[in-house]
Amino acid sequence: GKGVAMALTTRDREIAEAVGAALAPRGLMLLGLDVIGEHLTEINVTSPTGFQEIQAQAGIDVARLFIEAALA
């Protein structure tokens, strides 16, 4: 399939918060989450390529936002 940049749903945020709470203490701070419908289907640890898709489709520089947040 092809990734589509879109606004996060309430369920997407719930999934992200749960995954973050479980994996951030293990040092995993940057992950790609694949969600289909309301279900988490994959966690991308080594290649979170969503940055490129979001930049191309929505014009949002996610990499810059991530670096700024990490340095704050």
pLDDT tens-digit profile of 5-28?
Answer: 889 999 999 999 999 999 999 999
35 found inside a domain: yes
In a domain, 52, yes or no: yes
* pTM (two decimals): 0.80
Number of domains making up the chain: 1
Task: Give the contacts of 32 (CB within 8 A, at least 6 positions apart).
Answer: 42, 43, 44, 47, 48, 49, 50
Identify the residue with better confidence: 49 or 55: 55
**In the predicted structure, residue 49 carries a pLDDT above the cut 80:** no
Length of the chain: 72
Is residue 2, in this structure, part of any structural domain at all? no
Residue 40 placed within a domain: yes
Write out the residue range of the structural domain in which residue 30 sits. Answer: 10-71
Domain for residue 5, yes or no?
no
CATH number at residue 16: 3.30.470.20
